[in-house]
A and B are shown apart, each in its own frame.
Chain A
Amino acid sequence: VPIPGVTDRPLRDRYDVVIVGGGIQGIALGYELAKLGVTGIAVLDAAWPGAGASGRNGEMIRSAFSSVEWCRLFDHCLTRWHGLSAELDFNTLFTPAGYAVLAADEQEAQSLRDQLPRHRELGLRSEWLDAAGARAMIPAAAPELVQGALWQDHGGFAHHDAVLWGYARAAARAGVEIHADAAVEAIAVSAGRVEGVTVRGRRIATPLVVNAAGAFAREVAAMAGVALPTQRLLLEILVTESLQPFLRPAVASLALMGYCHQTSRGEFVGGTEWKAEHPSDEIGVTLEGLRDMASKWVRLFPQLAGVRVVRHWSGLVDQTPDLAPVLGPAPGVEGFVLDCGWIYGFMGAPAAELLARSIVDGRLDPIIEPFAVDRLYEGRLIEEGALAVPTEATT
C-alpha cells in the first residue's frame, strides 16, 4: 500500500537536514522546518512511516496535566490540533468529543481537582465534573468507578494513520523527502560535529541530524556518542468489533491505569498499563496483557462483556525516567538534535513547530526549554502526576 508522501527517488549524497525516524514526530518536524524555509530535508525510516508507535497508539489528545511544563507543551498542541486539518488540507479525523480523566475515589478526585487552579493560571480550559455530571457524560460506565472527572470539552482523539498521512502529504508538497526502508546504520561525528549518516552502507553528508527514532532513539543517540538514560517498554491495546455509539469522549481512568475511546467507526479502542515496567525489544502481544485489558474494560463498561475483540496490538516506546520527552540539542555534539523519549508523541505532534523554530533560530523556545536532555543527567526530573501510566510513585 503506498503511503502518501513517501518518495521512490534514490537517496541523495547530501542533505541539509536528516531526520532519523519517519514517525509522526519526524515527519511533522520535517514539515515544520520546510514551512520555515529550510530546504534539503530528508526523513529516513528503517521500515515505513508509521510502522512504529505512531501507528500503534491510543490516539487520544488532551492538555490538562498537573505540571506547568506538560500543561504548556500540550496546550500549545491542543490549540493547534483544532486547526490542523485545515492547515494540512487533509482531514486528520480529529474528533473534539472531549476528554475525561476519571476519579474512582476521593483521593483521586482530590488530586485531579488540585490541578484546576494551575490550569486557570495558565489559561488552560478545563473543568471539574462531579460524580453526577461525569456519569451523565459517560452513561455506560460503572458508577462506582466514576466519582468525578477532570474534563476538557475541546480534547478528544484523532485517527493516527490520517494524521501521519496528512503531515506526510504536506511535508512532501513542501519539498521534504520521506524515505522508507532506509535504516540509519551509523552517524559520523568528527571533532564534535555531525558530518553525515550511513544508510544501507552508503555515506550521506549532512551537518544536522535529528533523532526522532521513537523506540530506537537510544541506539541512534549512541551512534553519535550520546547516552540516553531511557528504557524501551512495550504497550498494548485492544480493539473490539464495531458497536453502536455508547461512548462519546476520550476517557482515562487513574484507577485502571487505562485509556480508551470509541471511534466513529464504532470500534472500542482501549489500552491499559498492567505492569510498571515491561522492557521489551520486540513487538509482540501477550495473553496477560489481553486479560488485563479485557477484565478492566469490562469493569468500567460492564456491557462490554461478550463483545468480540477483533484486534490487539503492541507498540514500543523509549521512556525517560520522568516520562517526559527529550527536546533540543544534544550537548557535546554540534548538529545533533533530540526529538525523542516521547510516550505522548502522537498528541504532541504539533509541538514539532516549536522545535523547528528553535532549530532555525538557534535558541530554544521557552515552552520546550524545560524538556532539554540536561535535566535527565542532572536529576532535575519534571514532576508530572496526572498520567494514566504507572510511575515509580504508583508502583
Chain B
Amino acid sequence: VSAIDPHGLRLPGGTPRVVPFTLDGREMAGVEGEPIAAALHAQGVRVLGRSFKYRRPRGLHCVADACPNCSMRVNGLPGVATCSIPLSAGDRVERQKGAPSAEHDVLGGMDRLSAFTPVGFQYRRFRRSPRLFHQWERVLARLAGAGRLPDPDVARAVAAPARFEALHTDVAVIGAGAAGLSAALAAARAGARVLLLERRDHTGGWLRAGGMPAERMVLADLERDVAAEPRIERRTESTAAGWYAEDVLAVTSARGLVELRAGAVVLATGAHERPLAFADNDRPGVMLAGGVERLLRGHGVRPGHRVVVVTAEDYGHVVAADLLAHGVTVAAVADARGVGGDAAAAVAGALHDGGVELLADARVRAASGRATVRGVVLERDGRPGREIACDTIAVANGRRPARELLLQRAASGGLQLALPAGLHAAAADPARAVVDGWWVAGAAGGAATVEEAVRGGGAAGAAAAAR
C-alpha cells in the first residue's frame, strides 16, 4: 500500500486491497472501495476537471456529493460524483474537460479574458446578427458543454432492465445519521414498519468521520439497536431524490427506481457546509473542513502537506487538531471571531504545541496560486495583507440545513419557494409536524448538538408512528 499511498495513513478494518485503474489512460493504483476522488487525491492529483464557462481548474471540495467539482467520466458514463463512488479494479476515469488535458488546458486562460465575457455578455453580443450569433454560440457550445454522451454500450447497459419497484411503508426516515437512526428506532418501537434510507454506503452521517469519542459511542449504540430491530429495513446507497405531486418519493439506487409511498416521513437529511466568499475560493486545494475530515478520518488520505484553516466556528480548531494528530502541518488557524468557544479552548494547547499560529479577527482576502492553492492572503484595512504559504485551505463556516426535499413537499402548488410556516415550531418541538405527515429532525431541523439530534429524532419518530 505504501507504494500507492505516500501519506501512509491506515484505517482500522481489514487489509486494504490495492487495485489498478486508469486516469485519462494513465495507469494508477488505489485502495479498492475508497472513493475514486480520494484515490486520486492520495496520488497527488489535484485538478479533477475544468469549470463550465471560464475553464478554471476544479478540485476536490466537499467530499459529500453536494457540489459539482469532482464530476468526472467513469467507465464511459459522464457526470459521476467521484467523491462518493467507490473505486473498483480496472475503473476507467477521465477528466471531462480540457485540451489536451484538464491539468494543462490550452484554454485555461479563458478566465483571464473575462473582461470580454462578463456576466450577461451574451445578451449584448451579436444582437444585430442572429447568423453570426449562431456561429459564435456553436463555438461556445464546444467550449462550455461538459461531458460527452455515455458510450453506446454503457448506455445500453444502463437502459436495459426496467428496474422498478413500488413500495409502501408506515414511516420513511430519510437520512441515517444520529437523528435518523433515533427516529427510525422510536417509530419502530411504537409499532410502525420503518424504511430507513441513506444515500451513502454507511449509516452514521458525519459522525462516522468526525465528532467526539462520546458522540461516536452514542452512534454505535444506535446503530446496534437499529440493526436488531426487525421492523426497520435499512437501505444504504439509496437516495430519496425527489418528492412528487402523486405524494410519492422517488428513491434511486444502483438497483433502480423505487416509487415509495409512506404514511409519514421523517426528514433527517442533515446539513450542508457553507463555503466562504473570498477571491479565488474555487481553486483546487480550497476544501470544506468536513470534507477534509472525511478524507482524513474516513479514507485515510491527507488533504495536503501544509494546511491553513479558515474558520468562523470552533469546528475549524477541532479539524486543525485532527490534522496535526495525523501528521499534517497546520500553518495557521485564521478565525474570523475575536474569541473562540469551549471546543476551541480544549484544543488550544495541542495547536500551540503543534506550532500552529492562531489568528483572531482574521479576514481572508484571497487564495493565491493558479492551478492549485499556493497560499492564503489575509486582509488588512480593506487591502491585501500578509500571505501564508499552504497547499490546502480548509474552510469551516457553519452549516445550512439540508431541506431540499421539504421545500419540494411544502412549496408544491405555489409559485413562491418559501419555507413552510410550521418549520419554526417544528424546529423548537420536533414532535410537531412541519407540514401534514412530515417531521424534521437533527441538523435538518436546526439541531446543533448530537444529543439534541438524538432527542429530536426520537420525538419525531414516535410522533410519525402515531399518525
Contacts of B140 in A (CB 8 A): 264
The answer to whether B152 and A303 have CB atoms under 8 Å apart is yes
Residue tally, chain A, CB below 8 Å to B: 48
Prevailing SS type, chain A contact patch: loop
The answer to whether A302 and B159 have CB atoms under 8 Å apart is yes
Contacts of A391 in B (CB 8 A): none
The answer to whether A47 and B415 touch (CB under 8 A), given A82-B130, A242-B52, A304-B155, is yes
The answer to whether B125 and A243 have CB atoms under 8 Å apart is no
A202-221 interface code vs B (CB 8 A; 1 in, 0 out): 00000000000000000000
Chain A stretch 147-185: residues in CB contact (< 8 A) with chain B: 162, 165-166
Q: Give which listed residue, A165, A285, A306, contacts B245 with CB less than 8 A.
A: A285
Q: Is B277 an interface residue (CB 8 A)?
A: no
The answer to whether B142 and A244 have CB atoms under 8 Å apart is yes
The answer to whether A162 and B123 have CB atoms under 8 Å apart is yes
The answer to whether B142 and A91 have CB atoms under 8 Å apart is no
Contacts of B33 in A (CB 8 A): none
The closest CB in chain B to the CB of A280 belongs to B245
The answer to whether A308 and B79 have CB atoms under 8 Å apart is yes
The answer to whether B137 and A241 have CB atoms under 8 Å apart is no
Q: Give which listed residue, B122, B145, B259, contacts A91 with CB less than 8 A.
A: B122
Question: What CA separation (Å) do A88 and B128 show in the bound complex?
Answer: 10
Question: What CA separation (Å) do A290 and B241 show in the bound complex?
Answer: 12
Number of A-B contacts (CB under 8 A): 145
Q: Is B244 an interface residue (CB 8 A)?
A: yes
B413-427 interface code vs A (CB 8 A; 1 in, 0 out): 111100000000000
The answer to whether B137 and A304 have CB atoms under 8 Å apart is no
Interface pick from A33-41, A92-100, A108-116, A123-131? A92-100
The answer to whether A91 and B150 have CB atoms under 8 Å apart is no
Residue tally, chain B, CB below 8 Å to A: 48
Q: Is A298 an interface residue (CB 8 A)?
A: yes
Give the most central of A51, A165, A266: most B CB within 10 Å: A266
Q: Is B17 an interface residue (CB 8 A)?
A: no
Q: Is B358 an interface residue (CB 8 A)?
A: no
The answer to whether A95 and B134 have CB atoms under 8 Å apart is yes
Question: What CA separation (Å) do A140 and B155 show in the bound complex?
Answer: 13
B223-249 interface code vs A (CB 8 A; 1 in, 0 out): 000000000000000000010111010
Q: Is A305 an interface residue (CB 8 A)?
A: yes
Q: Is B77 an interface residue (CB 8 A)?
A: yes
Chain A stretch 283-328: residues in CB contact (< 8 A) with chain B: 283-288, 290-291, 298, 301-308, 312
Chain B stretch 50-86: residues in CB contact (< 8 A) with chain A: 52, 77-79
The closest CB in chain A to the CB of B408 belongs to A285
The answer to whether A245 and B130 touch (CB under 8 A), given A162-B123, A306-B150, A307-B78, is no
The closest CB in chain A to the CB of B257 belongs to A291
Q: Is B148 an interface residue (CB 8 A)?
A: yes
The answer to whether A89 and B127 have CB atoms under 8 Å apart is yes
Chain B stretch 82-138: residues in CB contact (< 8 A) with chain A: 122-131, 133-134, 137-138
The answer to whether A266 and B155 have CB atoms under 8 Å apart is no
Question: What CA separation (Å) do A280 and B434 show in the bound complex?
Answer: 25
The answer to whether A303 and B155 touch (CB under 8 A), given A91-B123, A245-B142, A287-B246, is yes
The answer to whether A86 and B128 touch (CB under 8 A), given A47-B415, A91-B133, A242-B52, is yes
Question: What CA separation (Å) do A47 and B242 show in the bound complex?
Answer: 25
Contacts of B130 in A (CB 8 A): 82, 85, 94-96
Question: What CA separation (Å) do A283 and B244 show in the bound complex?
Answer: 11
Q: Give which listed residue, B52, B137, B149, B158, contacts A246 with CB less than 8 A.
A: B149
Question: What CA separation (Å) do A266 and B79 show in the bound complex?
Answer: 13
Q: Give which listed residue, B133, B145, B412, contacts A242 with CB less than 8 A.
A: B145
- Tell me the minimal C-beta distance from B48 to chain A in angstroms: 16
Q: Is B154 an interface residue (CB 8 A)?
A: yes
The closest CB in chain A to the CB of B149 belongs to A303
The answer to whether B127 and A298 have CB atoms under 8 Å apart is no
B437-457 interface code vs A (CB 8 A; 1 in, 0 out): 000000000000000000000
List 14 A-B pairs, Cβ < 8 Å. Answer: A85-B128, A91-B122, A96-B130, A166-B123, A241-B78, A241-B79, A243-B78, A244-B149, A265-B144, A282-B413, A287-B242, A287-B244, A290-B250, A307-B78
Q: Which 9 A-B pairs have the closest CB atoms?
A: A266-B145, A284-B245, A282-B413, A305-B159, A306-B158, A287-B244, A305-B155, A303-B149, A91-B127
